[in-house]
C-alpha cells in the first residue's frame, strides 16, 4: 500500500493519497476542529462514455444514451432494501449525481461516520438489476426527461451544445432520451457496471472529522482486490467547426433566453486545468460585472442581472459560454463579438486584473475550509489527472500576458453559436 502526501507550501495545506491494494485510490483530508465529514465514492464514468471496450471485448461497443445516469439511480436499490434506508439508520445525509464525465455517490455525517462509510463502499459494490425494476425505472426517468424537455433554461443550453458539437456525446442530455432509455436492459447495466465500476477506475475522497488509519481499516475490510480490465472509452472524431451558427425555438418565457458558445480545442491534465482557469479569469475581465462591456450592455437594457459566463470543459470538449435574458440577444452577440475582436487586435483592458485574480484565488482558499468543497476538489482532481492544489498554483502565477494569449488562442467568433428561446406569440 503506497501513501503520498500532497503539499502546498503557499497555503501550508496537505492531504493524503493512498493507493489501496484493491486498485482504489483513496484521498483523505483530516480537518482539525471539524465535527462532520463529507465523503464521495466515484467512478470516471459519465454520460459521454457511451462507447467503450475492456480486455474482455474484441471491439468497442456502443450503449444507449443515458445509461450512466440510469445506472446511478438503480444502484441505490438491492434485493432487500435501498441504500437510503440504511443511511437513515446512521443519521447520514446521502445522495448521488451523474455528470458528463463522472458518477459519484456521497454522504455527509456528524455521527456514525465510519458506519456510513461502510454503507457507501458496500452498496456501490452490490448491483442488483432485474427486468421488473429496470422497467419501473424507465417510467420514472422518462418523466424526468420530459420535465427537462419542457424547461426553457435546459433547452437553451442543450440547443447551444447541439449547435456547437457534431459528434461528441456532450451534445446529448445526461439522462438520455425517452427512446434511448427504453433500450436499457439488465444485461446492459451489468456490462456497464462491470466495465466502469472497477475499483481501478474509481476514487474515494473523504474530508473533515476523519482518521486516515480508520478509513484504511474500513477499506481493508470492505474492498477486495480487483484486476484492471484495461478499460478504454472513446468518442467519434469531432470537427473544429460548429454545426450551425444559430438556433431559435419558442417556449413559455416572458423575456428571450440566450446562450452563446465559443468552441475551442480541449486540453487535458494540468494544461486543461490551466486553460479552464485562465479562460474563467478572461471571461470575468471581458464580460464580468465590472467590465466595460457588461456595464454598457446593462445600461442600454440589453442584458440584466441574469447575464453570466462560464467555462464548460471536460474530456474532448471545451466551450466558453455567455448567456442570460435579453430582449435583443443577437445584438448582444454582435457586441460581444466586437469586444472580442477589438481585444484581440488592440489588447484587453487589464485595469481589474489584480482584483479579479485575487477574487478567484480567495474563492479557492475559502473552499479549503469546507469539507464538502475539499472532498469534491480531491476527487475531481484525481479524475482530471492533476494534484488537489494545482489550481491554487495556476491562479497564483497567471499574468496579463497569459490572458492575452488565451484570448487569441481560445476565442474564434467564427467557431461560435447562439441558442435563443423566444416567448411564444400570443
Q: What letter does residue 240 receive in the DSSP assignment? A: S
Active site residue 72: yes
Q: What letter does residue 315 receive in the DSSP assignment? A: T
Sheet with 232-233, strands from edge to edge, namely 61-62, 51-53, 232-233
Helix axes 353-367, 390-397, angle to 10 degrees: 170
* Residue count of the chain: 426
3-state SS assignment for residue 115:
helix
Sheet with 416-423, strands from edge to edge, namely 246-251, 416-423, 257-263, 317-325, 308-314
- Give the contacts of 253 (CB within 8 A, at least 6 positions apart): 152, 421, 422, 423
- Give the contacts of 142 (CB within 8 A, at least 6 positions apart): 178, 181, 182
Can you list the alpha helix ranges (DSSP code H) found in 197-328? 212-222, 269-287, 292-299
**7, 13, 72, 393: which is the annotated catalytic residue?**
72
Give the start-end residues of each E strand in 154-223. 202-208
Q: 86 with 119: CB under 8 angstroms?
A: yes
Run of H or E residues at 42: strand 37-43
The radius of gyration computed from the CA coordinates of the chain, to the nearest angstrom, equals 23
DSSP class per residue in 328-395:
-HHHHHHHHHHHHHHHHHH----TTHHHHHHHHHHHHHHHTT-HHHHHHHHHHHHHHTS-TTHHHHHH
d(CA 259, CA 270): 28
d(CA 423, CA 426): 9
Closest by CA to 273, choosing from 396, 409, 161, 381, is 381
Q: What are the catalytic residues? A: 72
Amino acid at each position: 500500500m503506497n501513501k503520498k502526501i500532497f503539499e502546498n507550501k503557499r497555503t501550508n495545506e496537505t492531504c493524503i493519497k493512498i493507493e489501496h491494494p484493491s486498485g482504489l485510490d483513496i484521498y483523505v483530508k483530516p480537518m482539525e476542529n471539524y465535527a462532520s465529514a463529507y465523503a464521495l465514492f466515484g467512478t470516471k464514468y459519465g454520460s459521454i462514455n457511451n462507447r467503450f471496450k475492456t480486455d474482455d471485448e474484441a471491439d468497442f461497443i456502443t450503449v444507449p444514451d443515458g445509461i450512466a445516469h440510469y445506472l446511478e439511480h438503480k444502484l441505490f436499490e438491492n434485493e432487500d432494501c435501498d441504500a437510503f434506508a440504511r443511511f437513515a439508520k446512521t443519521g447520514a445525509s446521502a445522495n448521488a449525481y451523474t455528470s458528463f464525465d463522472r458518477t459519484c455517490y456521497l454522504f455527509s455525517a456528524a455521527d456514525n461516520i465510519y458506519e456510513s462509510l461502510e454503507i457507501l463502499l458496500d452498496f456501490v459494490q452490490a448491483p442488483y438489476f432485474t427486468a421488473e425494476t429496470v422497467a419501473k425505472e424507465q417510467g420514472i426517468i422518462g418523466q424526468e426527461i420530459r420535465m427537462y424537455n419542457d424547461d426553457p433554461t435546459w433547452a437553451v443550453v442543450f440547443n447551444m451544445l447541439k449547435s456547437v458539437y457534431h459528434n461528441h456525446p456532450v451534445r446529448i442530455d445526461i439522462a438520455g432520451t425517452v427512446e434511448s432509455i427504453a433500450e436499457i436492459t439488465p444485461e446492459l447495466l451489468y456490462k456497464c457496471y462491470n466495465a466502469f465500476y472497477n475499483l481501478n477506475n474509481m476514487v474515494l475522497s473523504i474530508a473533515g472529522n476523519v482518521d486516515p488509519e480508520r478509513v484504511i481499516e474500513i477499506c481493508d475490510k470492505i474492498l477486495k482486490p480487483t484486476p484492471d480490465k484495461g478499460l478504454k472509452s472513446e468518442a467519434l472524431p469531432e470537427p473544429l467547426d460548429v454545426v450551425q451558427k444559430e438556433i431559435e425555438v419558442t417556449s413559455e418565457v416572458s423575456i428571450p433566453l440566450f446562450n452563446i458558445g465559443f468552441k475551442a480545442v480541449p486540453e487535458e491534465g494540468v494544461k486543461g486545468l490551466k486553460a479552464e482557469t485562465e479562460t474563467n479569469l478572461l471571461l470575468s475581465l471581458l464580460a464580468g460585472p465590472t467590465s466595460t462591456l457588461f456595464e454598457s450592455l446593462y445600461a442600454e437594457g440589453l442584458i440584466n442581472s441574469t447575464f453570466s459566463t462560464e467555462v464548460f470543459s471536460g474530456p474532448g470538449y471545451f466551450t466558453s459560454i455567455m448567456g442570460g435574458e435579453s430582449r435583443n440577444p443577437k445584438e448582444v452577440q454582435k457586441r460581444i463579438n466586437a469586444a472580442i475582436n477589438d481585444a484581440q487586435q488592440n489588447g484587453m483592458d487589464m485595469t481589474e486584473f489584480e482584483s479579479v485574480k485575487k477574487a478567484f484565488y480567495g474563492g479557492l482558499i475559502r473552499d479549503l475550509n469546507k469539507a464538502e468543497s475539499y472532498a469534491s476538489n480531491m476527487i475531481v482532481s484525481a479524475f482530471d489527472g492533476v494534484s488537489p492544489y494545482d489550481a491554487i498554483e495556476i491562479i497564483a502565477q497567471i499574468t496579463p500576458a497569459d490572458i492575452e494569449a488565451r484570448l487569441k488562442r481560445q476565442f474564434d467568433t467564427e467557431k461560435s453559436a447562439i441558442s435563443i428561446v423566444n416567448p411564444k406569440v400570443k
